Amino acid sequence: MRISRFYLPERYVSGCSLELSKEQAHYALTVLRLKDGHQIEVFDGKGHFASAVIQHTSRRSANVVLEEVQTAVNESPLKTVLLQGISKGDRMDYSIQKAVELGVGSIQPLFTERVDVKLQGDKLEKRRAQWQSIAINACEQSGRAFVPEILPLISLEEYLANNTVEFGIVCDPYAEHTIASLPPPNLDRPVTILVGPEGGLSEKEVMKAEQNGFSTVRLGPRILRTETAGPAMLTIAQALWGDF
């Protein structure tokens, strides 16, 4: 029987009692219909998880009592960063969800030349918070105890100017090489994967990425949609150098 999992970013000590948020309590008590004494699992987002027991405090609130606290061992030895050009609607949601399921370490949403999404001011942080919630939900579903961070939205130009990339790959349908033809990365350093938005990256952006440590790679003879390309590249990298 599948055990329900909840994200509780607290300090975990065996025997301590932690309060579920109102939303979590509603989901546990009303949607899942969990009763007193029901076994669940909680995780702190930093690599720790614990078996726990539900304790009702009222009709609409509940605590959990932690039992054995453990450190997760299901994180990939391959560290990855996904640089994802911002796409419209649920395409970006899908990219983030699947990347988290596939073991990504962090996700950097990027404004690129062909991004057709207008976000400014408070809307930027609101959208980032929404994507962070999607990442948390993906961790609850996939069994991860580490929650990848959705980094603040910046431009590709800003990222390249302020970050050193030791092993980067950029998706380009016209590239000569495939991911499998590249030499293995140093597992002590992250693999950085760059994917453009719906319209792809411009030639100028691809050239700039190459000048900053990225290798262009193609994913077979077909052109993939933006929400497919990121998960596909992560899958190949995990199969070659990670834990698939």
- Using the predicted structure, report yes or no on whether residue 1 has a pLDDT greater than 80: no
E strand or H helix that includes residue 169: strand 167-171
The tokens 């579903």 sit on which residue? 141
Q: What is the mean pLDDT of the chain?
A: 93
What pLDDT shows up at residue 220? 85
| Rounded Cα gap, residues 181 and 69, in angstroms | 42
What pLDDT shows up at residue 148? 98
The tokens 């579920």 sit on which residue? 20
- Average confidence (pLDDT) over 201-209: 94
Buried b (16+ CB within 10 A) or exposed e, 208-218: bbeebebbbbb
Across the strands, what pairs with 51? 41
- Using the predicted structure, report yes or no on whether residue 98 has a pLDDT greater than 70: yes
116: pLDDT confidence band, cut at 50, 70 and 90? Answer: confident
pLDDT tens-digit map of 37-95: 999 999 999 999 999 999 987 878 999 999 999 999 999 999 999 999 999 889 999 99
- Average confidence (pLDDT) over 142-162: 96
| Percent of the chain at pLDDT exceeding 70 | 100
- Average confidence (pLDDT) over 164-186: 92
Find all residues with CB under 8 Å of 167, minimum gap 6, and list them: 185, 186, 189, 190, 191, 192, 213
Question: In 3D, which of 48, 59, 57, 38 has the Cα closest to residue 11?
Answer: 48
Residue 59 or residue 130, greater confidence: 130
- Using the predicted structure, report yes or no on whether residue 237 has a pLDDT greater than 90: yes
Q: How far is CA 235 from the centre of its chain?
A: 13
- Using the predicted structure, report yes or no on whether residue 119 has a pLDDT greater than 80: no
| Rounded Cα gap, residues 84 and 90, in angstroms | 14
Full-model pTM: 0.92
122: pLDDT confidence band, cut at 50, 70 and 90? Answer: confident
What does residue 115 show for φ and ψ, rounded to 5 degrees? -70, 130
DSSP secondary structure letter of residue 30: I
Cα-Cα-Cα-Cα torsion 143, 146, 151, 156, nearest 10 degrees, comes to -80
The per-residue DSSP string of 192-218 comes to EEEE--TT---HHHHHHHHHTTEEEE-
Instruction: Quickly count: other Cβ atoms within 10 Å of residue 146's Cβ.
Output: 19
Of the listed ranges 90-99, 188-197, 216-225, the least confidently predicted one is 216-225
